[in-house]
Amino acid sequence: MTSDQHHESALSVHDDPAGHPAPASVSLPYSNNSENGDTPLLPPGSQSPAEQEKLRKMEEILHSDIGVSSLLGRLKQSIAACRDFALFLKRRASLEEEHAQGLRKICRMTHESIRRPESRQGTYARSFEETTQIHERIAENGIQFSLALHQMHEDLTDLSNNMERGRKHWKQIGLTVEKKLHEAELLVDKAKIKYETAAEEWDRARSGDRRSGKTPFSLRGTRNGPRHEEDLQRKVASADSDYHNRIQLANTHRHEAVNSLRPQAVRALRAMVTECDAGLTVQLQRFAQFNEKLLLHNGLSVSPIKMGDTDSSGAQSMRDVINMINNDKDFESFVLDLANKVPTQARNQEVRYERHPSLSQQTPGVPIPSNASTIPVQPQNHQANQPQGMHGHQPDRRDMMGQGQGLQQQSPGFGAVVQQAAILPTQHPMPNAEYSPSQYGMDYPRLKPVFGIPLDALLTRDESIVPIVVLQCVQAVDLYGLDVEGIYRVSGERKHVERIKQIFDNDSSTLDFRKREDFFYDVNSVASILKQFFRDLPEPLLTNALYQDFIKASRIDDETLRRDSLHELINKLPDPNYATLRILILHLHRIQANSNINRMSTNNLAICFGYAAVLCILGGGLWQLTNYRPTLMGSNSSPNIADATWQVRVIDTILQHCFSIFDDD
């Protein structure tokens, strides 16, 4: 192979490891060199002699034998710097994200705490809520900052990976060229030593010099004379030819390295060092800008800039928000809100003695106190203190009038009042002001009945896939009942339940359970209303058609198989039933999530909604189970106590696997 052929072969091999030709010139966004990489951007005339000398010396060093290896080391340092800063950005972004998420969580918890009835209201609540909103904006700024840092980390990681691939590519090319050049020079040194040794021996044989004291000896005798000189001359000629060829090959490699491959490697490595350093600098500048922007936005959230007195944006600083708290006004509002709750008897009304009609005629042997007119007797609210029946029914005014007339027509007997009509008790206003007369003291016609109406009929009439009564009750319990002990186990006051039921059957749009006065401040009554709605459905929520299938699925011992079987049956429910069941189960899951406070586990809730028993008090501390009322389950005929355990197990399994059966969106 000739030197020209060897040169062409070297260029074809070292263009690219994969066999692709290397680009002659790559335009880089951060490069400070011209297209060939050897000429600076500034013209030579505009540079001082010292600058020109410095550039010349740099070019001389970079194109020397140590240039490629030095640039490879310098590029490795730049890549390491990129990776170090990328790791810093990743850790900083994680810290910022964790801080922002924690701050956002605290704000949500504080919002819920502010809305609780036991928390202080008024200007304090409004100011505190605005303060938490400022913190939410700060948290949002932190999340945006962390996202920007994550993006910077990805950009720097991509940059360092690209530079590492380029470094390996040019390391293979550059070091291969330098290695060939070094090996060729070593062969030149060996050929030179061989040539010089042969020349010295030939010269000694020709001149007869025996300075070494040794004479060539062989089995054929002493080697001297013309023949020996001819052998040495041929050896010298062969060594000279080999030495000359090695020099030509080494010069070819050096010419190729110095004029072609080495400049390409130096130019490419120098461009990659410049690009890597420039990219790292740009990311550092972006990091500084993002920090300034974060601090600026947080500062504007805490203290917005006001453009004079004409600023209509309404933005207030945290200090202004805190200064809006008026303790005196809050206390006055708290006291004045109690005005409607003060009982009527307490409003400076004198207590009077009222003589009972039966004492108008004195019974013989029973003296009447002389000072009876001065005895302080508390007037009774007969309607509120009358004994209730077995189911809490209170007789109305018509029943009491009928009883009075019956007494008047009876014949006189022992203890009877002769010729005296029964006097009815006076109807006094309700002592609790929250029960307004418009809601508590009148009967409502069933204009738009809700209870006892099928779900598909409610959907057609109200155009709501979930009944409004269910949405209202779930919302009220979510707002005010999650931390109430025994919610859904403790029944509400019967008169409240009946009144709310009447209002729902009249017009459900008049109720807004976000206002506690609309359910008489009794969240247990709301829970009872929700259970009563499901009990009064003509067909149970889980339908009669699927009842036996649900009972059969509940008898499966394997937990996973039982869950999957129930899931399949739930998917067969009609759309209103499915949507209503989903809302209810997700709500009950939120209830049991606070079971450490409300003491309502999944099993307790399953008992309340699976199969509820009605007790009958017999007296003397004895009671008897008289009726079994399934809330969500039903049977094809009458309710069966034998299925009570399996009905509870159905609801319990659905609650335990809530998010496996329903999606939470």
pLDDT at 386: 38
Distance CA(626)–CA(618), nearest Å, equals 11
Residue 474, amino acid: V
Give the pLDDT score at 350.
Answer: 66
Distance separating alpha carbons of residues 611 and 550, to the nearest angstrom: 14
Identify the band that residue 198 occupies on the pLDDT scale cut at 50, 70 and 90.
confident
Q: Of 113 and 214, which is predicted with more confidence?
A: 113
Q: What percent of the chain has pLDDT over 90?
A: 39
Give the pLDDT confidence score for residue 88 in this predicted structure. Answer: 96
What value does the mean pLDDT of the chain take? 76
**pLDDT score of 192:** 85
pLDDT in tens, 624-645: 444 455 678 764 444 556 788 8
Beta bridge partners of 623: 617
pTM passes above 0.75: no
The vertex-142 CA angle with 137 and 146, nearest 5°, equals 150
pLDDT at 12 (0 to 100) = 37
Share of the chain above pLDDT 70, in %: 70
* pLDDT on residue 505: 92
Identify which of 136, 53, 51, 149 has the alpha carbon closest to the alpha carbon of residue 100. Answer: 136
Which of the two residues, 554 and 62, has the higher pLDDT score?
Answer: 554
Q: What pLDDT, on a 0 to 100 scale, did the predictor assign at position 432? A: 39
User: Which phi and psi (to 5°) does residue 573 adopt?
Assistant: -65, 150
**Predicted confidence (pLDDT) per residue in 325-337, tens digit:** 999 988 988 888 8
Q: What domains does the chain contain, in order, with CATH numbers?
A: 65-167+255-304+317-327 (1.20.1270.60), 432-537 (1.10.555.10), 539-665 (1.10.555.10)
H-helix or E-strand containing 218? strand 217-218
Burial class (CB in 10 A: 0-12, 13-18, 19+), 269: buried
The reported pLDDT for the residue numbered 200 is 86
Please state the rounded mean pLDDT for residues 105-121: 86
Contact (Cβ atoms closer than 8 angstroms) between residue 251 and residue 203: no
Q: 84 or 236: which carries more pLDDT confidence?
A: 84
The closest of 351, 350, 355 to 369, measured between CA atoms, is 355
Mean pLDDT over residues 616-620, rounded?
Answer: 45
The candidate with the shortest Cα–Cα distance to 4, out of 180, 251, 173, 172, is: 251
**Residue pLDDT, tens place only, 487-499:** 999 999 999 999 9
Both tokens of 394, joined, read: 């209170």
Q: Quickly state the pLDDT bin for 420 (edges 50, 70, 90).
A: very low
Residue 36: C-alpha distances to residues 24, 74, 275 (Å): 8, 21, 16
Q: Is pLDDT of 379 > 50?
A: no
Q: What would the pLDDT profile of 256-271 be if each residue is shown by its tens digit?
A: 666 777 787 888 888 9
Sign of CA dihedral 263, 268, 269, 271: positive
Which pLDDT value is given to residue 357? 76
What does the pLDDT read at residue 664? Answer: 66
Position with higher pLDDT, 167 vs 432: 167
* 545 or 314: which leads in pLDDT: 545
Q: Give the pLDDT of residue 314.
A: 67
The per-residue pLDDT for 539 is 92
- Quote the pLDDT of residue 175: 73
Q: Distances from the Cα of 509 to the Cαs of 193, 361, 468, 512, in angstroms?
A: 111, 56, 9, 8
Distance CA 593, CA 131 (A): 28
What is the model's pLDDT at position 413? 38
| Residue 115, pLDDT score | 81
pLDDT surpasses 90 at 10: no
pLDDT at 196: 85
pLDDT on residue 634: 61
- In the block, residue with structure tokens 């389950």: 633
Instruction: Give 402's pLDDT tier (boundaries 50, 70, 90).
Output: very low
What is the per-residue pLDDT for 585? Answer: 95
* Mean pLDDT, residues 165-177 taken together: 82
Residue 221 — left, alpha, or beta (φ > 0 → left; ψ -120 to 50 → alpha)?
A: left
Q: What is the pLDDT of residue 381?
A: 40
